[in-house]
Chains A and B, each alone.
Chain A
Amino acid sequence: MSRPLLELRNVSMSFGGMRVNDDISFSIGKGERVALIGPNGAGKTTLVNVISGDLTPSQGAVHLAGVDVTALPISDRVDAGLIRTFQITRLFKSLTVAQNVALAVMQRKGLTRSMFSCPMDRPDVRREWERALGTLGIAHLADRQVSQLAYGQQRLLDLAIGLALEPKVLLLDEPAAGVPSEESSKIIEAIDRLPSDIAVLMIEHDMDLVFKFARRVLVLANGKLIFQGDPAEVTHHQEVRRAYLGSYADARHAS
């Protein structure tokens, strides 16, 4: 088997006396689609923060394509292709939609040192940010200020920025949460069309989306990884059902 793109080795994260992630190990290979589920407060977002480099784990290590990145700053991980989106959108509000995505493109291409030229309209740069906006169906909003966008459109833009960075490993933190159905279908389409060789880890509450998207499911409860495996098996797993799925699993069984 080839080396996994993302690997967590015995990662624990504590705040004060509180252990939010407890001895978590898993790996995700090239092209895998993995969902991370768990009840509120299970430590899912904390885990994404640890992987992306916003938090340094109290113990354990994060490996990216075989390289230990635990001590590396966020920006180095981004350069290595580890990209995330946010559960609550974080965008550059004083810039336009196009500038938000173009900045990501220019940062990836190492053009943000440029002080006097404006490569945003350079054909190769323009093609890329237009494509990222087009993929999510928001190309017509390119010249809008971010503050003028509806929430659903902001979520699409957040994902567009992620795509423009050409991820190798993409962490999606509840990409469709709070998004009206029209836009969530665009998000799901975009996730479906992601290049097949990248690894995707998605936190999601919407179980229909999880079953549709994931080939493998990780379940986090009270900071511990209590299950990882086939989505079809997850509903049969007693501990998972107790911890999380509850009525949903029963409903699926009944049907």
Chain B
Amino acid sequence: MALQTLDIQRRSATTTPSPGVRQTTEVAKLIDISKCIGCKACQTACMEWNDIRDEVGSNAGTYDNPRDLTENSWTVMRYSEVEVEQGKLEWLIRKDGCMHCADPGCLKACPSPGAIIQHGNGIVDFQQANCIGCGYCIAGCPFNVPRISRKDNKAYKCTLCSDRVGVGMEPACVKTCPTGAIVFGSKTDMIQHAEARIVDLKERGYAKAGLYDPQGVGGTHVMYVLQHADQPELYHGLPRDPAISPMVSLWKGVTKPLMSLGLGLVALAGFFHYVTVGPNEVGDEEEEV
């Protein structure tokens, strides 16, 4: 029996239910962008705990370093300079990475059984041993998160430190954050915590402060407190209403079972035709020349 904290509630390319007698507490990581100072300690802690090292890149004129998520950088700080009000420059710094959707597009798209799993606590985790490197998870993800390694052709992303969470610890980024901008706990507690923060932010003049927990993907297990929740795009293009692409839903929703059934029926129709109508043989009267 697996650890209760690591119970699996959903598995990619699996049509029968996963073990589900236990009710595991849903967890969430809450990132309060108004408290982030962009120190990148979380990036460093992520590299350290997960033992991943990216290549040293070059400066592209922003603080974004590395410039994008990679198989070796599961979280990256995104720096956006915006003027929401004329003449009032704001530096919005968003910790980008997997959002751990309740309805994960990657898991829906994945063709390999058990290559992507969703734990009972909501964490979406890639099992690289089962990954075939097809990249369907990339097509499925509404947040552009998974990355395939050029070294081993396996997909990688933030695990929400499932190995730490499984033994009762918080993720490495949460542990290290010096300003308390990242907190971790049950999803209910995190929503409550966010509400208090939003009240505070509103008092401080951010009338549109709010929680980012997009319902288009069933809510997420990584949530943001945004100063400008009405304009999530300001935060390096955070999608306003993310959802699994309709093309992916159609592909993995209706077509998958219907087309499989269709092919079976075509083959069966052929067989039934043979045993009822019978083969078309050359008639006797045609035989003589």
Q: Do A and B bind each other?
A: no
Interface residues of B (CB under 8 A from A): none
